[in-house]
Structure 1
Amino acid sequence: MPPLPVAVSREHNTVTLHPSGEIDHETAPALTGAVREAEGELRGLVVDLSEVSFMDSAGLHALIALEHHCRERGARLDLAGARDQPARLLDLVRLAGIFTLAG
């Protein structure tokens, strides 16, 4: 399976990750790796899931790791654009209440 494409954008001290495709055990490390490359004065992190078609437990683990990473730095993690299967998965495992979900 090809690696997960993750576009990174920055506005002020907020980094937005834009993964595209499926987040699973093979591709999840690309998501957590992208934030390390984009750090600096990180005050907020947004993971835009609008282009993610599938996510499994490895994807959930990556999101939790990102949340811990942000918390350690006093930053905030928001999820945006979750729909279809990823949105149902977040709701099913009750992680929707842990993350701030937008759009």
Structure 2
Amino acid sequence: MYMLSVPMGWERGALVLRPCGEIDLHTAPALTEAARGVAEPWREMVVDLSGVSFMDSAGLHALIGLSQRCRARGGRLTVTGVREQPARLLDLTGLSEVFTTT
């Protein structure tokens, strides 16, 4: 069984997702769905990847989807805590230039 834990919270008005584990074909839907059930309105989102050791193209697709949802609300997606393997993937695909990263 594949699992991805996606704790969430609020910081300075932004919805913060903190996935832990690996984001791949089997677990990426958990990241995509995490913000769907939030009743409180949000525009800004932060995805803290410090707990993610591995991410594949399904993880990239999930981040792109979350970014599109933010833009549709007039906000933006910020990606923080990017570890080595996900950082390489973001760099190779050019997405490190698309997302705000810290």
Residues paired across the two proteins, number: 102
1:7 aligns with 2:7: yes
- Matched residues, percent identical? 56
Post-superposition shift, 1:12? 4.6
For 1:74 and 1:44, locate their aligned partners in 2 and report how far apart those are by CA, in whole Å. 8
Q: One-letter code of the match for 2:69?
A: H
Distance 1:76 1:39, change over 3 A: farther
Q: Structure 1 unaligned runs (5+)? A: none
TM-score, normalised by the number of residues in structure 1: 0.93
Residues 30-74 of structure 1, C-alpha deviations (whole Å, 9 max, x = no match) = 001001122522021000000100000000000000011111111
Structure with a larger share of its residues in strand: 1
Alpha carbons 1:44, 1:76 under 8 Å: kept: yes
Question: What aligned pairs does 1:1-103 form with structure 2 within 5 A after superposition?
Answer: 1-102=1-102
Alpha carbons 2:16, 2:48 under 8 Å: kept: yes
For 1:8 and 1:45, locate their aligned partners in 2 and report how far apart those are by CA, in whole Å. 10
TM-score, normalised by the number of residues in structure 2: 0.94
Q: Structure 2 unaligned runs (5+)? A: none
Alpha carbons 1:13, 1:41 under 8 Å: kept: no
Post-superposition shift, 1:76? 1.3
For 2:21 and 2:55, locate their aligned partners in 1 and report how far apart those are by CA, in whole Å. 9
For 2:39 and 2:60, locate their aligned partners in 1 and report how far apart those are by CA, in whole Å. 21
For 2:22 and 2:39, locate their aligned partners in 1 and report how far apart those are by CA, in whole Å. 24
Q: One-letter code of the match for 1:32?
A: T
For 2:39 and 2:49, locate their aligned partners in 1 and report how far apart those are by CA, in whole Å. 19
For 2:56 and 2:24, locate their aligned partners in 1 and report how far apart those are by CA, in whole Å. 5
